[in-house]
Amino acid sequence: MSAVEHRFGPYGGQYVPETLMPALEQLEQAWTAACADAGFQAELRDLLEHYVGRPTALYHAARLSGLAGHPVYLKREDLLHTGAHKINNAVGQALLARRMGKTRVIAETGAGQHGVAAATACALLDLRCVVYMGTEDMRRQRPNVDRMGLLGAEVVGVEAGARTLKEAVSEAIRDWVANVEDTHYIIGSAVGPAPYPAIVRDLQRVIGDEAREQVLAAAGRLPARVIACVGGGSNAIGLFAGFLDDAEVELIGVEAAGEGIASGRHGAPLSVGGPPGVLHGALEAVMQDGEGQIVEAHSISAGLDYPGSGPQHAHLRDSGRARYEAVEDTDALAAFARLSRLEGIIPALEPAHAIAWVLAHPGSELDLVCLSGRGDKDLAEALALLDDTL
Amino acid sequence: MSEANGIERIAEAFESSARESRAALMPYLMGGFPDLARSQEIGAACIEGGADVIELGLPFSDPLADGPVIHAAGTAALRAGATFAGVLEIAAALAPRIPVIVMAYANSLFVRGVGAAAGALAEAGACGLIVPDLPHEEAGELRGACDARGLALVPLVAPTTPAERLAEIGAHARGFLYTVSVTGTTGERERPADALVEVIARARSSTAVPVAVGFGIGSPAAAADAARAGADGVIVGSRLVRAATDAQAQGASEAAVVRALVRELRAALDVAGAATPVVPR
Ligand SMILES: Cc1ncc(COP(=O)(O)O)c(C=O)c1O
């Protein structure tokens, strides 16, 4: 295992208060050691198989394919325990927390999926768990708030700013600054200061590694396009990682265009492509104004409602290896309803963006889409909005 | 004084308070809170109250090193229209009377380019810069840009900073070594005075520049404790920002309230006496 990346091209780095620097160093050492430790790897593999539910199916969605006009395969991360890909990372990092002797875990959450995953992993490993969540997200993802409580985690509502994911991450980092000695911060996406983006990618790359093998077995070929939604970018980087070396496979990240890019109310920093900035410890693609103030994102899906994105994505974009496009709230909502009726799969609103992109871009030979999570958490919010648009 | 560069002016401020056998008083104020004009008055009030150096915060949308009081003041300042240029106007107005050190988050500087940002700060007469989310590993380019203009890039060290790292940071410090007294964000906290002795001794043994203590100092008594524990300078932030916030809420004069509190802090430092060199136990 080579050294853990701190930079992806110019992006990444460690823009955090000095108080945290020793903890990041400790984390990097623990991760490097864990990667080389057969015992750790075996325990992680065992949990992923018997507890988390891996490997997940790769499903040839025949009716969706009919509508798209080309074969579409869904990587079914929605079938995992707790209902989204977030658990891959949460279980791995919780094992790492225990290995470092930390007794307390903190996490942030937007959609609540990462919070639930962290709370679950902490229940399993008997770690104290505190989850920061914007109060607006607590409102729109109520079922997940209740699940976290039942799992024994303490959910702390964050009132600052737009009361969504950005502020939840900031509050989690502030908690970490104050409690770094006994606390591990399980960040929920491929963002944050090094070594987090690399660790989260490596814990999520199981998505891409499995999918590559499965698609070769099922279709006898590699996909023409590999597509995933991008909030912070963890399910996307995990899927992309399996195909990075296959130059003929197009990698497409789908961000939230919210109410439209032109409205400014979106969550699409990679697609918009302004100057990079520092958010939550990394230099990356961000939404900011001319003063360098980070601006609020907007998306119908709490998990994509974030003005930053993982540093490796900005590098993949600049190098031309991946491209990033954005899908508006209304199209994601339509795809949410569509997939439910067509395939009997209710997707989370986040991957509904990826489904919408596929439907809007026919003409592929074979698409592989990460269905990163299931939509139970979104029912109340989506049904109310669907009623409005009917 | 006009020929001295920023680094030299900061050194003079510490020398002059040391000559008076006391620690330097270094109040923090949030630039643009509650608005630009009144924040400049608060800065002037700090000078009148007996400050030796002023720390002027540039508000940022996502201040990871700040607790709720400074965070809220920054949010209010931004809402009132604070900008980089506006805060530099305050710096320019105060700088002829006192060394001003700007505290800014990295993105506020990167968005302009570190060279241009350092240039603008020097132009405004600022003496130094503190960037709480720019650790040693990331600071090289900005330090170069600051050095070229005689600006002090003041690094922070924390209680969690291990010895080797402390030595490395201390060796690159300019102006003073900002010694964070608590593991946490900015905010008032009780801290036993004897724990400070060790934090300060550790910092001092790593650097040739003065050692200033900040984060958590919430009262004249705590400021005096820090001075007696050996600090060359005492930074008071959240307590003063809270005073300004409360005054604003009550419709009182922020400047008057801050002036009175700075006087009390200064009196406590005058009585506490010289920073006696402390030998680590
Ligand atoms: C189901 C689902 N998909 C995607 C995301 C977006 O995160 P990321 O871009 O890290 O995969 C979330 C985040 O909450 C989610 O819950």
Of A28, A75, A77, A86, which is the active-site residue? Answer: A86
Residue B38 and residue B255: Cα distance in Å, rounded?
Answer: 7
User: Is the pLDDT assigned to residue B1 strictly greater than 60?
Assistant: no
A280 lines ligand 1 (CB under 6 A): no
Q: Which A residues, 159 through 198, put their C-beta within 8 Å of a C-beta on chain B?
A: 160-161, 166, 170, 173-174, 177-181
User: Is the pLDDT assigned to residue A181 strictly greater than 50?
Assistant: yes
State the DSSP H helix or E strand holding residue B69, giving kind and residue range, or none if neither.
helix B68-79
Residue A29 makes CB contacts below 8 A (sequence gap 6+) with none
A364 lines ligand 1 (CB under 6 A): no
Q: Which atom of ligand 1 is nearest to the CA of A191?
A: 10
DSSP 8-state secondary structure symbol assigned to residue B178: E
pLDDT tens digits for range A230-276? 999 999 999 999 999 999 999 999 999 999 999 999 999 999 999 99
Per-residue pLDDT at A367: 98
A113 lines ligand 1 (CB under 6 A): yes
- Would residue B188 show up in a list of annotated catalytic residues for this protein? no
**Phi and psi for A366 in degrees, rounded to 5?**
-165, 125
Q: Which residue has the tokens 């296959």?
A: A246
Q: Give distance in angstroms: CA of A56 to centre of ligand 1.
A: 17
Per-residue pLDDT at B278: 45
Q: Which residues pair with A253 in a beta bridge?
A: A228, A324
Interface touch A18/B185, C-beta < 8 Å: no
Side chain identity, residue A69: G
pLDDT more than 70, % of chain A:
99
- 3-class secondary structure, A119: helix
Helix, strand, coil % in chain A, rounded to nearest 5? 50, 20, 30
Per-residue pLDDT at B279: 44
Highest CATH level, class, for B6-275: alpha beta
Q: Would you call B163 an interface residue with chain A, using a CB distance cutoff of 8 Å? A: no
Question: In chain A, which residues have their Cβ closer than 8 Å to the Cβ of B64?
Answer: 16-17, 170, 173-174, 177, 280-281
Q: Which residues pair with A11 in a beta bridge?
A: A8
Question: In chain B, which residues have their Cβ closer than 8 Å to the Cβ of A160?
Answer: 71, 75
- Would residue A108 show up in a list of annotated catalytic residues for this protein? yes
Residue A181: closest CA among chain B residues belongs to which residue?
B160
- Burial class of A134 by CB neighbour count within 10 A (0 to 12, 13 to 18, 19+): buried
- 3-class secondary structure, B3: coil
Is residue B97 within 8 Å of residue B216, measured between CB atoms?
A: no
Q: Which two tokens stand for residue A101?
A: 């002797």
Is residue A111 within 8 Å of residue A381, measured between CB atoms?
A: no
Q: What's the gap between Cα A230 and its chain centre?
A: 7
Residue A195 and residue A199: Cα distance in Å, rounded?
Answer: 6
Of B12, B15, B35, B55, which is the active-site residue? Answer: B55
Residue A260 makes CB contacts below 8 A (sequence gap 6+) with A266, A328
CA A242 to each of CA A200, A246, A336: distance values in angstroms, whole numbers, following the listed order: 14, 9, 26
A331 lines ligand 1 (CB under 6 A): no
Per-residue pLDDT at B189: 83
Residue A215 and residue B272: Cα distance in Å, rounded?
Answer: 74
- 3-class secondary structure, B55: strand
CA A145 to each of CA A140, A254, A297, A334: distance values in angstroms, whole numbers, following the listed order: 10, 26, 22, 26
Residue A1 and residue A12: Cα distance in Å, rounded?
Answer: 20
Interface touch B105/A166, C-beta < 8 Å: no
Q: Which of B221, B168, B177, B224 is nearest to B199 (CA)?
A: B177
pLDDT more than 70, % of chain B:
95
Q: Kindly list the domain boundaries of chain A, sorted by start residue.
A: 7-49+86-193, 55-83+201-385
Is residue B175 within 8 Å of residue A13, measured between CB atoms?
A: no
Q: Which atom of ligand 1 is nearest to the CA of A189?
A: 10
- Would residue A372 show up in a list of annotated catalytic residues for this protein? yes
CA end-to-end distance (rounded Å), chain A: 53
pLDDT tens digits for range A108-154? 999 899 999 999 999 999 999 999 999 999 998 899 999 999 999 99
Is residue A94 within 8 Å of residue A105, measured between CB atoms?
A: yes
Q: Would you call B150 an interface residue with chain A, using a CB distance cutoff of 8 Å? A: no
User: Is the pLDDT assigned to residue B280 strictly greater than 50?
Assistant: no
**CA-closest residue to ligand 1 atom 15:** A303
Q: Which of A287, A188, A169, A286 is nearest to A237 (CA)?
A: A188
For the domain bounded by A55-83+201-385, which CATH number is listed?
3.40.50.1100
pLDDT tens digits for range B198-230? 999 999 999 999 999 999 899 999 999 999 999
pLDDT tens digits for range A322-373? 999 999 999 999 999 999 999 999 999 999 999 999 999 999 999 999 999 9
User: Is the pLDDT assigned to residue B143 strictly greater than 60?
Assistant: yes
Our mutation pick for probing the ligand 1 site, out of A81, A229, A240, A346, counting the most ligand atoms within 8 A of Cβ, is A229
What does the pLDDT average to over B245-271?
Answer: 97
Q: Which residues pair with A185 in a beta bridge?
A: A106
- 3-class secondary structure, A183: strand
Per-residue pLDDT at B281: 37
B62-75 exposure pattern, b = at least 16 Cβ within 10 A, e = fewer: bbbbbbebbbbbbb
Is residue A241 within 8 Å of residue B73, measured between CB atoms?
A: no
CA A261 to each of CA A167, A268, A298: distance values in angstroms, whole numbers, following the listed order: 22, 8, 10
Is residue B201 within 8 Å of residue B159, measured between CB atoms?
A: no
pLDDT tens digits for range B117-130? 999 999 999 999 99
Residue A341 makes CB contacts below 8 A (sequence gap 6+) with none
Q: Which residues pair with A225 in a beta bridge?
A: A250, A367
Report the length, in residues, of chain B. 281
For the domain bounded by A7-49+86-193, which CATH number is listed?
3.40.50.1100
ipTM of the complex: 0.95
- The sign of the dihedral angle between the CA atoms of A143, A148, A154, A157 is negative
> Which of A174, A277, A295 lies nearest to residue B110, judging by beta carbons?
A277
Q: Which two tokens stand for residue A51?
A: 């507890």
Q: Which of A113, A119, A120, A157 is nearest to A139 (CA)?
A: A157
Q: Would you call A84 an interface residue with chain B, using a CB distance cutoff of 8 Å? A: no
Q: Which two tokens stand for residue A183?
A: 């606390």
**CA-closest residue to ligand 1 atom 1:** A373
Q: Give distance in angstroms: CA of B112 to centre of ligand 1.
A: 32
Residue B157: closest CA among chain A residues belongs to which residue?
A18
A353 lines ligand 1 (CB under 6 A): no
**Phi and psi for A171 in degrees, rounded to 5?**
-70, -40
Task: Give me the total of CB pairs closer than 8 Å, taking one residue from chain A and one from chain B.
Answer: 115
What does the pLDDT average to over A273-291?
Answer: 97
Q: Would you call B205 an interface residue with chain A, using a CB distance cutoff of 8 Å? A: no
Residue A339 and residue A228: Cα distance in Å, rounded?
Answer: 15
Question: In chain A, which residues have their Cβ closer than 8 Å to the Cβ of B199?
Answer: none
**CA-closest residue to ligand 1 atom 12:** A303
Is residue A197 within 8 Å of residue A239, measured between CB atoms?
A: no
Per-residue pLDDT at A1: 41
Residue B152 and residue B6: Cα distance in Å, rounded?
Answer: 6
Residue B130: closest CA among chain A residues belongs to which residue?
A17
pLDDT tens digits for range B65-112? 999 999 999 999 999 999 999 999 999 999 999 999 999 999 999 999
Q: Which A residues, 115 through 144, put their C-beta within 8 Å of a C-beta on chain B?
A: none
Q: Residue A288: left if φ>0, alpha if ψ -120 to 50, beta else—which one?
A: beta
pTM for the predicted model, two decimal places:
0.96
Residue A157 and residue A179: Cα distance in Å, rounded?
Answer: 18
User: Is the pLDDT assigned to residue B195 strictly greater than 90?
Assistant: no
Is residue A269 within 8 Å of residue A290, measured between CB atoms?
A: no
Q: Which residue has the tokens 């509502």?
A: A157
What does the pLDDT average to over B168-173?
Answer: 98
Is residue A304 within 8 Å of residue A255, measured between CB atoms?
A: yes
Side chain identity, residue B219: S
**Dihedral angle computed from the Cα positions of residues B145, B148, B150 and B151, in that order, rounded to the nearest 10 degrees:** 0
List own/partner pairs for B136-142 with CB under 8 A and 24 or more apart. B136/A18, B136/A21, B136/B165, B136/B168, B136/B169, B136/B172, B137/A13, B137/A14, B137/A21, B138/A13, B138/A14, B138/A15, B138/B106, B139/B172, B141/B114, B142/B109, B142/B114, B142/B118
Of A28, A77, A108, A136, which is the active-site residue? Answer: A108
Give the distance from residue B250's alpha carbon to the nearest chain A alpha carbon, in angstroms: 23
Q: Which two tokens stand for residue A62?
A: 């025949």
Q: Which atom of ligand 1 is nearest to the CA of A188?
A: 10
Interface touch A170/B62, C-beta < 8 Å: yes
